[in-house]
Chains A and B, each alone.
Chain A
Amino acid sequence: MIPSLPHLKESPSQTAGPYVHIGLIPHQAGFDIFAKNFSNVLVGPDTVGERIRIEGRILDGSGAPARDILVEIWQANAAGRYNHPADRQEDKPIDPSFRGWGRTGTDFETGLYTFETVKPGSVIGRKGHRPMAPHVNIWLAARGINIGLSTRLYFSDEAEANAQDPVLNIIEPRERRETLIARREERRGEVVYVFDIRLQGDRETVFFDI
């Protein structure tokens, strides 16, 4: 008799609900409880790389900004290496001052989210594919979202790398690729990438089944 492999089924997802902040961003819920908090600031004084701000709004199917969304990002460091044991790109340094992960909530009034981070370097692609263009992985959870949504942010000033990116290149029609490109702006010497996410409808953002 052939023994069957143990195989469990993934726990089903449920919405994070309107009060997700209590657990994940308690100060936004209106109270202080933990000695150390996670935040939307990924950089410290020793972090290597070009400082950037990422900001945007998340719009629902009526075009209204969603003001209660949890936003998390995961990215490589300025050299293009993830701070994780599975990343064995030995030719690139790990930056001990950069975990590469942050979280925030869209503002209850304006619907704006922001991150303070560094611009990531290019990461190797899958075997046999080109390197991936610099990108930031984004994950959204909220009231009304039954299972977390995954997308990627690419940079408008990396047109050449974007044109070669193995992920952008599989998206058809080509117009949809534009929904993943953040627009570079400079404000008083600060580099800002504006990245609005449209959950539904006109110019709907590409979401991935990863």
Chain B
Amino acid sequence: MSVERIRSDVRGITPEDPLGLDSEFIQRDRSIHPPAFTPNYKTSALRSPRIPLWSLQNSLSEVTGPVFSPDEIGPLDNDLILNYAKDGEPIGERIIVHGHVLDENGRGVPNTLVEFWQANAGGRYRHVNDRYLAPIDPNFGGCGRTLTNADGYYAFRTIKPGAYPFRNHVNSWRPAHIHFSIFGSGFAQRLITQMYFEGDPLLRHDVIARTIPDPEAVKRLIAPLDLDAAVPLDCLTYRFNIVLRGRRSTLFENKLQGN
């Protein structure tokens, strides 16, 4: 076996499978994720399994996942300034959020569904269960979605969300954040996370951000201001790259290593 062939095996890339779709995922490093039981975030106490997860080597059931097509996405679905506009545009700081969905090998994840949701500029969610006294913005829905392009790039336009209080400790406040849901190409890559904003002083007090044990890992959820990509006299821009699990050697063929 040639050095080149071995090298491509390690990355899960072969002439028959140039995108590495056949290959299983690198084991998830649970130490960078929050554990299930994080008592300072109180709701986790009764919603965390107490028996360790059963480790499962990937089969077709884990390396495959749903495929979405562009005709399912409307032309305004990634524009939260216009996708719920009724008699005007929403009030708040106009921003673009953009970045790449990459895998751990640094490859862009193409054609994957990225969904996002958030509160309005005052920290109020458009949801039947949100009773915070800050008002609803009649022109703001607060959700959007898009497919990444061939390079894994995505972008959407929105209003910067406000902080809001929640019933955890008596005086718990969430920092400004945008929720993200990402699919990847296999169901084992499925991920929901939150994006925070550079410089937000509430972040260091946030019990939910602090469920992540490693402060370096928290930093990867903080989007820096991307002034060079701002639209002059129109809106500011933040950059948020998302990393999904990478792939290792191919599953179903004879290989020197792996499997």
- CB-contact partner of B54 in A88, A144, A170, under 8 A: A170
Interface size counted on chain B using CB atoms at 8 A: 92
Residues of chain B contacted by A72 (CB below 8 angstroms):
190
Residues of chain A contacted by B103 (CB below 8 angstroms):
8
- Give a binary string over A131-151; 1 marks a CB under 8 Å from any B CB, 0 the rest: 010010101011111111110
- Per DSSP, chain A at the interface is loop
Is A33 positioned at the interface, with any CB of B under 8 Å from its CB? yes
Which of A11-40 touch B at CB < 8 Å?
A: 11-24, 26, 29-31, 33-36
- CB-contact partner of A18 in B48, B105, B129, B218, under 8 A: B129
Please give the distance in Å from A162's CB to the nearest CB on chain B.
Answer: 15
Inter-chain contact B50/A200, CB cutoff 8 Å: yes
| 6 sample A-B contacts, Cβ–Cβ < 8 Å, listed by A number | A9-B104, A12-B212, A16-B181, A101-B66, A139-B187, A146-B48
Which of B210-258 touch A at CB < 8 Å?
A: 211-212, 214, 217-218, 220-221, 242-246, 251-252
Is A53 positioned at the interface, with any CB of B under 8 Å from its CB? no
- CB-contact partner of A24 in B62, B115, B214, under 8 A: B115
Alpha-carbon gap, A23 to B146, bound state (A): 12
Alpha-carbon gap, A29 to B46, bound state (A): 24
Chain B's closest residue to A100 (CB) is B66
Please give the distance in Å from B174's CB to the nearest CB on chain A.
Answer: 9
Alpha-carbon gap, A33 to B142, bound state (A): 10
Is B165 positioned at the interface, with any CB of A under 8 Å from its CB? no
Chain B's closest residue to A81 (CB) is B60
Inter-chain contact B49/A199, CB cutoff 8 Å: yes
Residues of chain B contacted by A88 (CB below 8 angstroms):
22
Inter-chain contact A11/B62, CB cutoff 8 Å: no
Chain B's closest residue to A62 (CB) is B46
- CB-contact partner of B47 in A36, A132, A152, A199, under 8 A: A199
Inter-chain contact B62/A144, CB cutoff 8 Å: no
Which of A44-52, A120-128, A188-196 binds B? Answer: A120-128
Inter-chain contact B243/A11, CB cutoff 8 Å: yes
- CB-contact partner of A86 in B48, B186, B212, under 8 A: B186
Alpha-carbon gap, A37 to B217, bound state (A): 33
Which of A104-120 touch B at CB < 8 Å?
A: 108
Inter-chain contact A199/B65, CB cutoff 8 Å: no
Is B202 positioned at the interface, with any CB of A under 8 Å from its CB? no
Which of B28-83 touch A at CB < 8 Å?
A: 28-30, 32-36, 38, 41, 43-51, 53-67, 72-74, 77, 83
Inter-chain contact A19/B125, CB cutoff 8 Å: yes
Inter-chain contact B143/A210, CB cutoff 8 Å: no
Is B172 positioned at the interface, with any CB of A under 8 Å from its CB? no
Is A91 positioned at the interface, with any CB of B under 8 Å from its CB? no
Chain B's closest residue to A139 (CB) is B190
Residues of chain A contacted by B10 (CB below 8 angstroms):
5
Alpha-carbon gap, A59 to B165, bound state (A): 27
